[in-house]
A = this chain, B = another copy of it.
Amino acid sequence: MDDIQHIPDLMQAIGAQAKTAAKKLATATTVQKNKALMEAATALRASIPAIMEANTKDIEYGKAKNLSAAMIDRLLLNEDRIEAIAMGLEAIANLPDPVGDIMASWDRPNGLHISRVRVPLGVIGVIYESRPNVTADAGALCLKAGNAVILRGGSESFHSSTRIHGCLVEGLQKAGLPADAIQLVPTRDRAAVGEMLTMTGVIDIIVPRGGRSLVERVQTESRVPVFAHLEGICHVYVDEAADIEKAVAINLNAKMRRTGICGSSETLLVDVKAAAMLPAILEPLFSAGCEIRGDIQVQAADNRVKSATDTDWDTEYLDAILSVKMVDGVDDAITHIAAHSSGHTESIITENTETAEKFLNLVDSAIVMHNASTQFADGGEFGMGAEIGIATGRIHARGPVGLEQLTSFKYQVRGNGQTRP
């Protein structure tokens, strides 16, 4: 099937099949959807040798393409990782089904009873790079929320994703659900991505999962609404009234727990009135191998601090590097964040509730925190069970995109003969 079809025709056909499947899925029961996920997990476990064989082909292809060691590692599947994917499917099966939830209901003076009820969003397009596990994770989340999904994986994971997709389809079939509920674009041709981005009226939402260049391309070109974040330039602000122990622990965790995730902090802002806390905050960061790039005042505090340039305040390092700046209180911190944040996650460290509330109200990011690590910016940590990503847009979904964010709603109006005067 690879690279032989006329891509627009292929994508039109996939889109039409997805729409048909979405109509059937809208009335699928929770039991059916969960059965599909559990059966897919079983199929995955039974297919470990076949998946690993497919993965070997991808690894060879990736090495021939001179992928970095980090990218090869993302691509690699082994028994443990396949087991983790299967457990991920079971975890999604165990999440509550959002479809049918009554989000709000009220009565009108004329006796009409109005309810806003969750329904599936429709058809979701997921465009991702070479992590084959996304095939299962994204497919399962979309299915659980009652949506049909069109998956377009990275070319390097083509064989692995195809094999994993086969297991998902097996699950769908065993549950009596349409096989087209989860489709994988069966070509490596990049033109398929361009087609997906223009399939308005067919695809309701596009979710890009991958690096900056992928997300940027999708955000720039897509005619379909997109749930995504381009980057996570997250800030921690240490206020004059900060508890020093919290400031030390949270800054170390926000930066160094995992430096490569979007919720890791990239800039530390310190109130000049809290300058005395700076050495205690920086020391464990240095010990953990973090490079510090500071403004002149921060450089003066420790000679290991390198000089920050203007671009540092707008840089997502995704690495053991932190930019540090002194600011004149919470208002100055809020102004800096407004100018440099990517609207993802910011945290204030203070024991002053009034200052904290000001920060929580005035900082316009998807997630604003008080006395907590920015690394909690995650659907699982929020109690949503799982997420398909984090959105920094303002429409429909913002912050972690979990099952609820993958739904729409409709109004049900129950009357007893009412006519409008």
Contact = CB atoms under 8 A, between A and B. Distances in A.
Interface of A: 23, 26-27, 106, 108, 112, 114, 119, 121-122, 204-205, 223, 225, 243, 245-246, 249-250, 252-254, 257, 338, 356, 360-362, 364-373, 375-376, 381-383, 394-396, 398-399, 408-420
A80 to B, nearest CB: 20
A368 B413 contact: yes
Contact of A408 (B26, B250, B383, B395): B395
B253 A204 contact: no
21 contacts: A23-B338, A23-B364, A27-B361, A119-B364, A223-B223, A243-B417, A246-B417, A250-B417, A253-B419, A368-B412, A369-B413, A370-B412, A371-B415, A371-B416, A372-B413, A372-B415, A373-B418, A376-B420, A382-B411, A398-B409, A399-B411
Contacts of A114: 382-383
Nearest to A245: B417
* Copies per complex of this chain: 2
A316 to B, nearest CB: 18
A197 to B, nearest CB: 11
Contact of A419 (B257, B365, B398, B399): B257
A413 B27 contact: no
A133 to B, nearest CB: 21
Given A23-B338, A108-B383, A250-B419, A413 B376 contact: yes
B381 A408 contact: no
Given A246-B417, A398-B409, 14 more contacts: A23-B338, A112-B376, A205-B395, A253-B420, A366-B411, A368-B413, A369-B412, A369-B414, A372-B414, A373-B419, A375-B420, A376-B413, A376-B415, A399-B410
A394 B356 CA distance: 36
Contacts of A360: 412, 414
B381 A108 contact: yes
A419 B245 CA distance: 12
A396 B393 CA distance: 12
Contact of A225 (B372, B395, B419): B395
A232 to B, nearest CB: 14
Contacts of A356: 414
Nearest to A114: B382
B375 A398 contact: no
Contacts of A370: 412-415
Contact of A364 (B376, B398, B410): B410
A420 B253 CA distance: 7
Nearest to A22: B364
Contacts of A252: 419
